[in-house]
Amino acid sequence: MQLRSRSGALAARDGVVLSFFIHRDHKEVAPAIWRALETFLQAIPPKTLNWYVSEEGDMDSLDKTGWEVIRKKMLERIWGLAWSVELSESPSGAGGYQFEYYGKKLDAPVGLYGGDPATAVSFTFPTEYLLEHGPDHLRALAFKLAWELPFSFGYASFAIVAPHGYWGAGDWDLLDTLRERYLGLDLDHVSNTSAVIGTHARSASWLTFLGQPLLGQLGGIEGMRQALPFPEVVLLPLDSQRLLISLSEWPEAIDLQQGGIPPQYRALALKLEPFLYEERAGLPPRYEYTWLRRLCR
C-alpha cells in the first residue's frame, strides 16, 4: 500500500512501527538509545539507512562523516533543549526502514514542546520484513530493543509509515477509507506524540510496552494478567517494572469488513483509556480526540 501526494511523489507506505516514550532527559538515555540503534542496524539489511536530516534541514547522504555527526549529536552534545535524529532508507523520507529520535529536556520552559513531553525513539520496518522473518523474530527484536530503554510506554503496530506524519500529504480520501476500515493501522507521528504523551498511554497495539509509572497505575503485572485472561495474550516481563504484552501471534489490521475488534484488543484499550493523552494526530477537526479511542467501541 502506498500513499502519494498530489504531485505523484511517495508520501507514505505500509509497514510496522515500533516506538518508545521515555520520561527522562536526553542526557540520561542517549547512550541506551545509541545501543538500541546499533541493535536495529544489525537486524536490518546492510546499508539500508542511507540518508539523514542535517542541522540545516536538508537530506544528506549517510556516509562515515554523517554517522560521526549523528554520534556527536547524540552522545556528546548534552547542552540545549531538544535533540533530533532522523534516518531514512530513501531521500524522500518515505522508505520502509526509518529511525527517529527526539530527545527532550523535561524541565525546559513550560510550553516549549507544546504540552507534556517525553523523549521518544521510533524504529520502522516495511511489511516485507515481517513477512520474511515472521512475527516471533520481530517480537524478539522488539523485546531486545526495549531491554535498553527505561520507557513509560511503547508499542508496535501495523502503520502508515512516513516521517513527521507526512502521510497527511497523501490522498485524504484513501486515508479516510483505510482509517475507517482497518482499526489496527496506526497513524504514526512520533515527533508530535512525544510533545504531549508525558507518562500516558497511546492505546492498545499488537505489542504494548508498559513501564513506570503507568504499569503501577494499572495494577502492575498481576493486574494486567487479571485484566487480559485471553489465550492469545502473552505477558513477557522485562523486569519487575516493565512489561511487554503481546496481544496476538501476528499484528492485527482489524479489518471491520472481516469481523469486529478482537476482544483482547478491546479489553486492553478499555483498561488504558483512563490513561490516554489527548492528541489530534494531525487529523482533520472531525476526528479530533477520537483516534486513540477507536478500539474502545
Higher confidence at residue 121 or residue 57?
121
Instruction: Judge contact between 196 and 116, C-beta under 8 A.
Output: yes
Closest CA to 89 of 46, 130, 42, 128: 46
Of these ranges, 19-28, 52-61, 157-166, 177-186, the one predicted with the greatest mean pLDDT is: 19-28
The Cα 16–Cα 124 span in angstroms is 6
Mean pLDDT of 117-130: 94
The Cα 140–Cα 70 span in angstroms is 27
Number of domains in the chain: 1
pLDDT score of 56: 74
- Whether 4 maps to a domain, the answer reads no
Percent of the chain whose pLDDT exceeds 90:
55
pLDDT score of 39: 97
> What residue numbers bound the domain in which 169 lies?
12-296
pLDDT score of 288: 46
pLDDT score of 262: 96
Q: Is the pLDDT of residue 144 over 90?
A: yes
Query: Residue 205 — pLDDT band, cuts 50, 70, 90?
Result: very high
Q: Is the pLDDT of residue 211 over 90?
A: yes
Q: Is the pLDDT of residue 271 over 50?
A: yes
Mean pLDDT estimate for the chain: 86
pLDDT score of 286: 47
pLDDT score of 129: 95
pLDDT tens sequence across 24-64: 999 999 999 999 999 999 999 998 998 888 777 778 888 99
Closest CA to 202 of 100, 122, 86: 122
- Whether 3 maps to a domain, the answer reads no
Mean pLDDT of 270-274: 96
pLDDT tens sequence across 228-247: 999 999 999 999 999 999 99
Higher confidence at residue 212 or residue 296?
212
pLDDT score of 287: 52
pLDDT score of 93: 57
Distances (CA, A) of 90 to 62, 96, 162, 179: 11, 8, 11, 25
Query: Residue 164 — pLDDT band, cuts 50, 70, 90?
Result: low
Q: Is the pLDDT of residue 201 over 80?
A: yes
The Cα 165–Cα 98 span in angstroms is 13
- Whether 72 maps to a domain, the answer reads yes
- Whether 252 maps to a domain, the answer reads yes
- Whether 2 maps to a domain, the answer reads no
- Whether 7 maps to a domain, the answer reads no
Closest CA to 9 of 146, 169, 159, 245: 169
Q: Is the pLDDT of residue 212 over 90?
A: yes
